[in-house]
Amino acid sequence: MKLVIAVVHTIDRNQLNRALVEGNFRSTKLKSSASFMREGTVSFLIGIEDAKLEDLLALIHDNTQAREEFVEEPQTGTAKFAKHRTQALEIVVGGALVIVLEVEQFYQY
């Protein structure tokens, strides 16, 4: 048995959630946040039998999408005192970070 943790951008959460329900994958959602740009994320926790892992990974891949966005560079230190100069950074948002863990024991009460 595996525990799959899929961290996805809030943009992708509804589409992925629908796909999980339609594919009969049960999950628990936890609100989370990315540290770099403080973007909203959702972490899906999914317990799954080993034989279904590849199907689940394909479903996550097909229902999340990385996108490029421009954001203003966060000002820190002496940059705060510059004459309102900001620089746009191109960042990638969306997509999924997937972690697969082996489950040693599982109990459901």
Question: Along the 109 residues of the chain, how does pLDDT read in single tens digits?
Answer: 999 999 998 889 999 999 999 999 999 999 887 665 566 889 999 999 999 999 999 999 999 988 777 767 666 655 555 555 667 777 666 789 999 999 999 888 9
Please report, for residues 13, 17, 31, 62, 79, the alpha-carbon distance to residue 65 in angstroms, rounded to integers and kept in the order given. 11, 14, 19, 8, 33
pLDDT of residue 67: 78
Contacts of 95 (CB under 8 A, 6+ apart): 8, 9, 12, 64, 65, 66, 67
d(Cα 69, Cα 15) in Å, to the nearest integer? 20
User: Which pTM does this prediction carry?
Assistant: 0.76
**Domains identified in the chain and CATH numbers:** 2-102 (3.30.70.120)
